[in-house]
Structure 1
């Protein structure tokens, strides 16, 4: 920041009245979450008027030019001498030489009421500018320092570190190489900063000081008397730019005044001694402006000095001064005109750090009780308004809360915008209460839990909630303690610490039970129940949710009842009890609609949509998810929108509409990245990767799943890590990279067991069974598939059980045990029909068709393939339809119905190309080649064979080797010869 305090004479900059201009400050904590573009230019605006620093500027430019041997330059001097202005001007002159970025960071060594910037936090902001997500940041200073220097390796960036405290604060922020340039300003001589080239800056010389005053005052010096008056004024200002700027500004806004009159008034006020006395110089200049204010403006000026944040809006100032907001707006504008406030954004103001010093001296003269009451009004304003805003911003920590009692906002847009603007102030208020008002701190932390949850800065959120738990316990605030424990538990859930989360929720539940706090009990039981579904503990989840449901019904807690019902329906969905799940979700949906609880309505729509998806009712599933999407958009829940878009993508995968699935998944991914929703980003990447697996683009699928894996590891999203490992392992299996697939699947299995996620365990066991089958280890494959079947049956997840049965059936076919294979496929068929999953039903029918074909019952095999084909068409599963057509074509070709086979393969080829499934397209081409060879159409077969071979190679499929051997056979065929 610019600084103004005079002790010595020298030369200086004319900052054109902009010494108190807006500052771009790199901060650690961004709002929930904003877009994550790479930011490369955060330099402060260069001043239009620059006077008196030509020599110093040339020295910096010359030393920092090409061939420089020093990459760190320090500008030190007293407050207000113009260090920042010189650094900014030099930076703008040099920025073209540093194309990779130019950054301005205020280190707040002398910002009253604000602690010097912690390098740990500063690095978070700088790394964020480079595009590093907050969730990916190391938890240690050395780790962040290493990451910062690593990201700058080979780059040329310009870094301005303004208002530094000492070398210890600066060292971690310095780039590692000489390609970068760092300009440092400080009130201290940084003797301990090794390798830096120092530049000591002093006040202005008389002539530049006079030029500065005349320019800013906008006056013509037409007489010797005026010239003498100007010289007298700048001399009495001690040649300190801040005093000169203020006095010149006053003259510019009073056209009736003359330079000589101002000089006489200034002299009569006996200001010379004050201006020559260092700190008192600034104070005298401020006092002159302060005395010119009305009494109400003086009161407002004093009160805004009590604000703990960086900047503020009119409503906060009105609360401090206890005046109407419209009145505050007018008075703030008056203070801005008098250069006593800076306007950072339209309607938002800040005090320069030295002005804040001055106003604090005024505040201390007021009665303590008046100051305390003013601060209480400010805290009341922020707490009340934040609480009202949070009711428009649904999140997990408030999914069962009552309707808002304060309506400061008309919609979510206004609420979200306010929370975005005031995030730093809310956290500053929270820290203010930590010392003086611990009870309020506990309450305010709870109010801000949603904001912290949306931010995704789990480490910071955890510290705040832990503090609230500790303080509430010390104060004997049992309900506050329980609420804090619940919020802390949710943070642990988000980071995958499920066991700790469960322990914290149970502690909160015990307190609520001891206090007969029924609403709290219901909320915690529901939270625990939902969490158990994530770890596939469905029996315990159902028990907890039933307890919550009974309490909600007993006390008439309708919104809580709707949420509990929806969660119970979700349990039924996961366990395959679809009929009961549908009834529960429908009841929950109707109840949520009746009580107007939008979050519960979304929850129920999503649950119904998932259930319909698993049962193969894709049209209905799409309708429910679309409804959830509409509500999410209505209430402005971008997290909800991203989740639903991902679900819609999954449905499109099931129906084989890969292009639509890709579009939806990309939309979800972009939204997650835009709001910084890392968990959602990992989920969207996983689904998008499944799209590419489905269409056979294994390279792209591997890249996406690898990114999802890395994000999940970064944010400790254990479920995402295990699922991404599972999918990446499947990619490696399908491409024949079995050595790479095995450790990925083993890691997925390990994580799912660690977090007791038995659903993923069952899925991984099935994937490992596929891997072993592909490598010919059928005994091990059978064992793994059987484990998947057993575990799925144990947890009641019949969808996975049916899928594993089809896999085990395929193993039995490969080992020639057709009777056992037929039995397994029949069991899968029966189970799929019981749970209503048409997709698995079709797969089981196809499997039975394979068995019948191998045992010579070709007629029955063809009929089974036709049944499977009909189901795939009925439910819109286009990829399944393509697979069935290819299998039917193979059967027809082998049984001599070559023309019918040719028709089936042609249809499969066209559809596979349409949906983008390169693997099935290659299979269809392969089948066409077989038919064409049989029909002696070798010339037609050759281009099809070449296309099939290319497709196999592009997706890394092992069939490429077999296809590569065909040309020799075709060349030797009678027709070709």
Structure 2
């Protein structure tokens, strides 16, 4: 998002920024806050104490207007009040981090909660009362997540806004009677839900606009609905002086039928002093009398464990001023004007705090408690039972309990204390389902992923999608399933574990196979829209048993993006559970999408899992395709020796089976990896063989791919005219084939030939074309490569500002793709840029960051060390230039990267010469020239000139 697209102004010691409405809001909390904290830390590490910066940041969204003073409106005011919240200032002051973030409730609910990147449990709600504004804000510390036990830092009940009645925590002081159960002192968390519920009711009651309010507290079994409702009832009791009544409706009580609404009314009337003989017989008459008794009164009625609206509706008061809190495992949709309060599992910090409170004063190891809470699914019932067992067994530890749960084949049955179990709580909900709903619930547990869409669920169940959607909705309404998006669902960890305990009731061993078949043909339909670098051999498969057809590229990519994690989980599970061939098919089908969109680590993990299973089973037929894909992704990740090894094995397997297309594809990839290892003659040999095979097969797509790789080799050898010719031939073939990714890759190579020859204007025009093409395709990796090359062209023209922008954008994309090596390359470029610009301190920072990211990629480590050596020669504070060059020389020789070996020798020669050791300098430069001449590298020209100059200055 360009800075000039925003409206921004200085506010003295800060900045106020208005962003266009069409810009997605997620990155502001997913990327900006984290990046801002990171850069602040880097700034502070390199500046004096008085120059260091710590910031408060507020995020909100809403409509704005403009007057003579600039932007105005309630949304603007609220944002400025949030940034001035005392709690935010305290949070920053008491945090060791550099950034404190606060969001509005709207921003938290609509952006943070729906994010798959940000952990919403890291935010804490606070009451904000600044000037005329009274609201709830959400505080997070992006570079110092809130540990357990930090509720005191963000006091939800603190600073009651003016005009809001204080909550009265005991009904004993009221004229009406109270039958509320005990409020548990160990109650933990639920700050946002309590704050919102009590604020809504208190405000309406104080203003006389409450009406007859109904709030339904729902959630999965064991979520703590009753405990929450009782806590809310005590906090609100002061507004209902005529009584607070608790009535158990036994919707899900073991061995007990739900209370009939007529019997419930009889109990309420008796409690209200109506003699038994005066209670009418009929339901309607009892409901009418109940409403008459409550006319003009203000009571709080808590109806616990309701089974549905038919049970609740007759019990509702008729006159305004009363409040009804209903708890239910079901989402009660048909009670008029009811406001839902849906409870989720506890955030990890609150779960740990609850566990600590129930286990007493002894402090447990935080790491062990965190693992145990995860094994408990952050479910309050599971936490309570586990804490009870630990409290009554003093010699037990959280580490032991977590280990037992992790090893258990049936975790859900181990979450128990005495005669209470989590499984029993789920049993009570399961028994209310219809037979078809029960069967679907049992089969959903077989899905290995975190989410499941309706079509996949239909495949598992062997039913049509429309019928399955109705049953999924029934499971959702019963809180046995979470709906994360329209048509997309998720099982809680413990719900899934419970579902698996029931799978032996099914008797259908084909359900998972149906799911894999559905995914296979859906993936193949979707990847028709994904461009590849060359032809891809496929594993032979059976005729389809049902497909999911996609009509547009956008629809296909959106589906693949949503299903990526699920597909990976199902492939890995299938590979080790007697579905190896289907796992291999699905992995090969998915690979083009993972490759193009930068999910290389996912592809690497999947390919390794499938390959290990194929080797264990001796399955050579499928192994060839899996090894070929593994080799491709290893090349992308920079592990070229491993890539060559796997690709050669794939080539041999393809040749043995007579798959000439697969053999040609493997030869092409081997040639590309050999080029990256600076083994140019070998690269040309493999690529020439691949081209000959493709020509025999009359496969223009394959020929185009080989020509593109040959162009890259020619470019590395300094044969720029030949490289451009091969690139243009590849481009013509790709244009004829309509392959836009191939066009983009060919243009990249052609642009580089113009750039190296000094025609920067032409190169920039070509790279701009690549940038547009890659963005149209959604190919972030190629987009980053285009930006990287654009940065290089601007750098060569001396336009350092544009170069910095391009390099930085490329680095951000590589970071988002989790491509550590390529991100480090961009950082290397930034280091060279700032070196040339004279900002040596910033240059050193970028080059050091790059070195840490390169990790095991010793080829790029060698280049980075060479760059550090060059910086140290210009700025001795960066370190010992000679040592950097020697390390680069050792690295490059160890792995056979000849180009970096030559650059290290050149650097050592120039360093020795500068240090006064002319003889050693000349010797090193001669060694470097021999390497460059052998590689026919363009660097030879500069070294030859330096040696000629040395003879002039120091004649023998």
Normalised-by-shorter TM-score class: 0.5 to 0.7
Determine helix, strand or coil for the equivalent of 2:836. helix
* In structure 2, distance between residues paired with 1:210 and 1:768: 74
**Who is 1:812 aligned against?**
951
Residue number among 147, 153, 168 corresponding to 1:158 in the alignment: 147
Residue number among 568, 574, 580 corresponding to 1:427 in the alignment: 568
Determine helix, strand or coil for the equivalent of 2:475. helix
Determine helix, strand or coil for the equivalent of 1:372. coil
**Who is 1:534 aligned against?**
676
Residue number among 781, 795, 807 corresponding to 1:665 in the alignment: 807
* In structure 2, distance between residues paired with 1:128 and 1:450: 33
Q: Deviations over 1:531-574 (max 9, x none)?
A: 11112111111111111111111112221110101111111111
Residue number among 285, 300, 323 corresponding to 2:428 in the alignment: 285
Residue 203 of structure 1, CA deviation: 9.9
In 2 relative to 1, CA 208–39 (structure 1 residues): closer, same or farther, beyond 3 Å?
farther
**Who is 1:172 aligned against?**
none
Residue 679 of structure 1, CA deviation: 1.9
Q: Quick check: 1:614 aligned with 2:794?
A: no
Residue 726 of structure 1, CA deviation: 0.9
**Who is 1:656 aligned against?**
798
* In structure 2, distance between residues paired with 1:604 and 1:338: 55
In 2 relative to 1, CA 256–551 (structure 1 residues): closer, same or farther, beyond 3 Å?
same
Structure holding more strand per residue: 2
Q: Quick check: 1:641 aligned with 2:698?
A: no
**Who is 2:307 aligned against?**
250
Residue 309 of structure 1, CA deviation: 2.7
**Who is 1:517 aligned against?**
659
Contact kept, 8 Å, 1:393 with 1:636, in 2: the verdict is: no
Q: How does 1:88-127 map to 2 (within 5 A)?
A: 99=95
* In structure 2, distance between residues paired with 1:779 and 1:439: 64
Contact kept, 8 Å, 2:694 with 2:702, in 1: the verdict is: yes
In 2 relative to 1, CA 156–704 (structure 1 residues): closer, same or farther, beyond 3 Å?
closer
Residue 581 of structure 1, CA deviation: 1.8
Residue number among 553, 571, 583 corresponding to 2:725 in the alignment: 583
**Who is 1:722 aligned against?**
862
Q: Scaled by the length of structure 1, what TM-score is found? A: 0.56
In 2 relative to 1, CA 505–414 (structure 1 residues): closer, same or farther, beyond 3 Å?
same
**Who is 2:645 aligned against?**
503
In 2 relative to 1, CA 39–443 (structure 1 residues): closer, same or farther, beyond 3 Å?
farther
Contact kept, 8 Å, 1:213 with 1:230, in 2: the verdict is: no
**Who is 1:380 aligned against?**
517
* In structure 1, distance between residues paired with 2:608 and 2:225: 57
Contact kept, 8 Å, 1:446 with 1:487, in 2: the verdict is: yes
Q: Number of aligned residue pairs: give it.
A: 625
Determine helix, strand or coil for the equivalent of 1:349. strand
* In structure 1, distance between residues paired with 2:679 and 2:924: 21
**Who is 1:418 aligned against?**
559
Q: Deviations over 1:90-124 (max 9, x none)?
A: xx9x99998579xxxxxxxxxxxxxxxxxxxxxxx
Residue 478 of structure 1, CA deviation: 2.7
Contact kept, 8 Å, 2:253 with 2:428, in 1: the verdict is: no
Residue 781 of structure 1, CA deviation: 2.4
Residue 344 of structure 1, CA deviation: 3.2
Contact kept, 8 Å, 1:709 with 1:721, in 2: the verdict is: yes
Contact kept, 8 Å, 2:254 with 2:428, in 1: the verdict is: no
* In structure 2, distance between residues paired with 1:280 and 1:625: 60
* In structure 2, distance between residues paired with 1:206 and 1:509: 61
In 2 relative to 1, CA 353–786 (structure 1 residues): closer, same or farther, beyond 3 Å?
closer
In 2 relative to 1, CA 677–395 (structure 1 residues): closer, same or farther, beyond 3 Å?
farther
In 2 relative to 1, CA 315–39 (structure 1 residues): closer, same or farther, beyond 3 Å?
farther
In 2 relative to 1, CA 356–128 (structure 1 residues): closer, same or farther, beyond 3 Å?
closer
Determine helix, strand or coil for the equivalent of 1:536. coil
Determine helix, strand or coil for the equivalent of 1:696. coil
Q: Deviations over 1:218-274 (max 9, x none)?
A: xxx9x99x97764898696799xxxxx998353236656669xx99xxxxxxxxxxx
Q: Deviations over 1:650-681 (max 9, x none)?
A: 12222222222122111111222233222221
* In structure 1, distance between residues paired with 2:903 and 2:121: 39
In 2 relative to 1, CA 407–564 (structure 1 residues): closer, same or farther, beyond 3 Å?
farther
Q: How does 1:166-315 map to 2 (within 5 A)?
A: 230=249, 248-252=305-309, 278=421, 281-282=424-425, 285-291=428-434, 297-315=437-455
**Who is 1:133 aligned against?**
none
Residue 284 of structure 1, CA deviation: 5.1
Contact kept, 8 Å, 1:536 with 1:759, in 2: the verdict is: yes
Q: How does 1:33-182 map to 2 (within 5 A)?
A: 38=34, 99=95, 157-159=146-148
Determine helix, strand or coil for the equivalent of 2:449. coil
Instruction: Select the structure of larger CA radius of gyration.
Output: 1
**Who is 1:801 aligned against?**
940
In 2 relative to 1, CA 345–308 (structure 1 residues): closer, same or farther, beyond 3 Å?
same
Contact kept, 8 Å, 1:210 with 1:234, in 2: the verdict is: no
Determine helix, strand or coil for the equivalent of 1:664. helix
- Structure 1 vs Structure 2 CA RMSD: 4.9
In 2 relative to 1, CA 345–538 (structure 1 residues): closer, same or farther, beyond 3 Å?
same
* In structure 1, distance between residues paired with 2:703 and 2:679: 21
**Who is 2:770 aligned against?**
628
Residue 347 of structure 1, CA deviation: 3.5
Q: Deviations over 1:705-749 (max 9, x none)?
A: 22112211x2x2222211111111111112356971111111122
* In structure 2, distance between residues paired with 1:205 and 1:429: 33
* Larger RCO (CA within 8 A; separation ≥ 6): 1
In 2 relative to 1, CA 35–514 (structure 1 residues): closer, same or farther, beyond 3 Å?
farther
* In structure 2, distance between residues paired with 1:40 and 1:247: 47
Q: How does 1:398-409 map to 2 (within 5 A)?
A: 400=536, 408-409=549-550
Residue 703 of structure 1, CA deviation: 1.8
Structure holding more helix per residue: 1
* In structure 2, distance between residues paired with 1:204 and 1:769: 70
* In structure 2, distance between residues paired with 1:277 and 1:413: 50
* In structure 2, distance between residues paired with 1:232 and 1:706: 63
Q: Quick check: 1:547 aligned with 2:684?
A: no
Q: Deviations over 1:413-455 (max 9, x none)?
A: 5444434433332233123312121222233333444566579
In 2 relative to 1, CA 450–788 (structure 1 residues): closer, same or farther, beyond 3 Å?
same
Determine helix, strand or coil for the equivalent of 2:489. strand
Contact kept, 8 Å, 1:206 with 1:235, in 2: the verdict is: no
Residue 629 of structure 1, CA deviation: 1.8
Q: Quick check: 1:563 aligned with 2:552?
A: no
